Amino acid sequence: MNYVFGQNISKFYADKRLFSEITISINKGQKVALVAKNGTGKTSLMNIIAGLDTPDEGKMEVNQSIRIGYLKQDPEYRDEDTVLDTVFNTDQEDLLLIKRYELLSSQNDADPAELQSLMNEIDAKSLWNLESRVKQILGKLEIHNHEQLMHQLSGGQIKRVALARELILEPRLLILDEPTNHLDIQMIEWLEKYIKTHVDSLLLVTHDRYFLDNVTDEILELEGGQLHKYKGNYSYFLEKKEERLLNDGVALDKAKSLYKKELEWMRRSPSARGTKAKSRITSFYDIKDKAHQKVGEDEVQIQMNMNRLGKKVMEIQDITKSYEDKVLLKNFSYIFKRFDRIGIAGPNGCGKSTLLEMLSGIIKPDTGKIVTGSTIVTGYFRQDTGDLNPDKKVIDIIQEIAEVIRLANGKDRTAAQMLEWFQFDRKKQYQYVGTLSGGEKRRLYLLSVLMKNPNFLILDEPTNDLDLQTLNTLEDFLTEFGGVLLMVSHDRYFMDKLIDHLFVFEGDGKIRDFPGNYSQYRISLQKEKQAQQKAEKKESEKPKKEKVKTKLSYNEKREFEQLEKDLETLESRKKEIEVVLSQPSDDHEQLMTLSKELGEIIEQIDLKSDRWLELSEYV
């Protein structure tokens, strides 16, 4: 079944062509990734597919029988709505019933009769599986306070609420724009599994290559205003793209050669412009366009000159940090070595960014200290793009750091040249920072950090909002970086490629120093789990050994003493009855009663004697 089909669609932004006469279709069961450089039209294309915009040319057809879900990079919401209002913003009756139940069950003064009525209705409609799925999604995305107002949430929490909403509503086609931003690694791994099992069709934009490979089977690349299709994963895409660029390069060389020949003909200005000549003139302009097109994209190349790194780097001495009752770090120590490449892993809110801020000197530990070597120049790439002033021009940001910088190869580059290197053309350099896209701000901020030539580089989620092209180039730079690298990232591919051991936040202030990258850590955890399960199974199969008793408890001593008294009393009564029974008597009823009592006494003596013998072994 065809869900969306766009034919010959074009979109322009002011005087810039984003894409021209492209054709796109997404069918039932397809899971597609959309790859493109920042600013080339990804968001515009997704808006058109989601029905939030229309193409300037061509036609987009959407199957009206399906619902399309769309998670934007910056989700829209109403300040006055609660989390629950936002998540259940729907007209689906079953979900509205679950919403009422969740709301009522969270209230301490809820009417028991009304709650029971709701439960009966949910039971009658067999909706408990739906209620369980809703709770699972909210819990996995760490959405617990359902009554909190949306304007009280952080940007990351808002993104997670919006993601939860789209997953709960179960659209037939789900469009996700950078869904892994603001998710920790555990959430990302859960989301991968959920998409595989619960999402029908998918259109995805992400810089997370493991995520891309794990949930999609087709890649659409938007480049040069055209859409190129690749069946397969990201590695296959890179291989086939290289082949395409090679073929395009050969075609471009041919077009340039033909253009020179036709240009000579045009310059001769033949006097007779017949039908054939006019046709040739039209063809000339087509050839001119082909001859002047670019093959591929100019890549960011980073060859910064790093400050000299001395023998003494940085030493963490028994530091502790808490906020209110939550312990983030407890008695943590570490001595950094030259060329350390360390990743930091752990759930959101565990203290990862707090550690980075302490190492960069922004905040102080509660106890302990951090000693930094005299040659250390720290470069701190923060999540919030630092202190970029929105009212300053792009070039002013860089010129304030340095007018000219020397590169690793000994050559000098001006601030303007450095900005061009980072894909800011002369026109863009004189724009105000506040007008830049999220990806452009991240790129500018990255340049501002690297311009200081740090030898101790601290990166907090550096992959957010960077396109894959810039991300690949940043990886190449960091691979060759000769200083200390310390970073927090939810991008597992990025971590695996660049770091060789981990600080793992395990909760309650404990940090585990693991020798290896993230994938190796996950394998280690799995092996530990398997070993624990094997040990538990082995223990459960062992025959139970009874405890060896060495002495009586206090209660048993009292019982033993009472048994002696009881046995003495019973023996005395037994003798009395035996004496009476041994004498002649005509009172048959008395004889029957005494005989019965004697039997009971003998039974009591036997039982109490056995117990007395059992306890006497430990006296």
Number of folded domains in the chain?
4
Most confident region among 108-122, 196-210, 239-253 by mean pLDDT? 196-210
pLDDT at 526: 87
Q: Is 410 a domain residue? A: yes
Question: Helix, strand or coil for residue 472?
Answer: helix
Residue 303 forms part of a structural domain:
no
Contact between 499 and 326 (Cβ < 8 Å): no
Length of the chain: 619
Residue 293 reports pLDDT greater than 70? no
Instruction: Note whether residue 70 is domain-resident.
Output: yes
Domain boundary among 221, 237, 253: 237
Residues 94 and 210 in one domain: yes
DSSP reduced 3-state for 600:
helix
Longest dimension (CA), the chain: 163
274 and 232 share one domain = no
171 found inside a domain: yes
Quote the pLDDT of residue 455: 92
Q: What are phi and psi of 321, to 5 degrees?
A: -145, 130
Is pLDDT at 388 greater than 80 in this prediction?
yes
The set of residues, in sequence order, having a beta carbon less than 8 Å from that of 159 and lying 6+ positions away, is 71, 75, 181, 182
Residues 440, 482 within the same domain? yes
pLDDT tens column, 250-290: 555 555 666 565 566 555 555 445 555 556 556 655 655 55
d(CA 337, CA 311): 8
Question: Does the pLDDT value for residue 187 go beyond 70?
Answer: yes
End-to-end Cα, the chain, rounded Å: 85
The verdict on 558 and 522 lying in the same domain is no
**CB count in 10 Å sphere of residue 175:** 25
Of the three residues 461, 493, 528, the one that is the final residue of a domain is 528
Of 508, 421, 518, 523, nearest to 473 (Cα)?
A: 421
Phi-psi region of 568 (alpha: psi -120 to 50; beta: other; left: phi over 0): alpha
pLDDT of the residue at 480: 83
User: What range defines the domain where residue 601 resides?
Assistant: 554-616
CA 309 to chain centre: 34
CB 429 within 8 A of CB 394: yes
Q: Is 343 among the domain residues?
A: yes
Residue type, 183: L
Which residue matches tokens 């960014």? 353
Two tokens at 518?
């993230």
pLDDT for 322 equals 94
- The whole-model pTM stands at 0.71
How does pLDDT run across 430-451, given as a tens digit for each residue?
999 998 877 788 889 988 888 8
Q: Distance of alpha carbon 80 from its chain centroid, rounded? A: 27
Rounded CA separation 448/307 (Å): 15
Q: Please check whether residue 111 lies inside any domain of the structure.
A: yes
Same domain, 321 and 464: yes
Compute the distance between CA of residue 447 and CA of residue 605 in angstroms, rounded to an integer.
96
Tell me, what CATH number does 218's domain have?
3.40.50.300
Residue at 54 is within a domain: yes
Rounded Cα–Cα distance for residues 550 and 617 (Å): 9
273 and 328 inside one domain: no
β-bridge pairing 2-13 and 16-27: antiparallel
Q: Which amino acid is at 48?
A: I
205 strand-pairing partners: 177
Task: Give tens-digit pLDDT for 391-403.
Answer: 999 999 999 988 8
30 and 53 in a single domain? The answer is yes
- 373 and 417 share one domain: yes
Residues in CB range of 453: below 8 A, 6 or more apart: 304, 305, 306, 307, 377, 405
Helix, strand, coil abundance in the chain, percent, nearest 5: 45, 20, 35
Mean pLDDT of 485-514: 92
Cβ 373 vs Cβ 484: under 8 Å:
no
- Helix or strand or coil: residue 530? helix
Half-sphere exposure of 438 (CA within 13 A, CB side): 13
Find out whether 381 and 489 touch, Cβ atoms under 8 Å. no
Alpha helices (runs of H) in 339-467, residue ranges in sequence order: 352-359, 394-399, 415-421, 426-429, 438-450
pLDDT at 281: 59
Alpha helices in 324-432 (DSSP H): 352-359, 394-399, 415-421, 426-429
The residues facing 204 across adjacent strands are 33, 176
Average predicted confidence (pLDDT) for the chain: 85
Tokens (6 digits) for 551: 């002495």
> Are residues 178 and 45 part of one domain?
yes
pLDDT tens digits along 210-239? 999 899 989 999 988 889 898 887 777 877
> Which stretch of DSSP H or E encloses residue 459?
strand 456-460
Query: Which has the closest alpha carbon to 179: 187, 559, 533, 361?
Result: 187
Residue 62 belongs to some domain of the structure: yes
Q: Which of 259, 291, 323 is the last residue of a domain?
A: 291
How far apart are the C-alpha atoms of 404 and 354, rounded to whole Å? Answer: 34
3-state SS assignment for residue 152:
helix
396 and 519 share one domain: yes
List pLDDT tens digits, range 124-177: 888 888 888 888 999 999 998 888 999 998 888 999 999 999 999 999 999 999
State the Cα–Cα distance between residues 550 and 558, nearest whole angstrom. Answer: 17
Alpha-carbon span 334 to 465, nearest angstrom: 32
Same domain, 259 and 231: no
> What does the pLDDT look like over 316-361, one tens digit per residue?
999 999 988 899 999 999 999 999 999 999 988 899 999 999 999 9
Mean pLDDT, residues 410-421: 84
The reply to whether 106 and 198 lie within a common domain is: yes
The stretch 53-81 carries a mean pLDDT of: 91
**Position 44 pLDDT exceeds 70:** yes
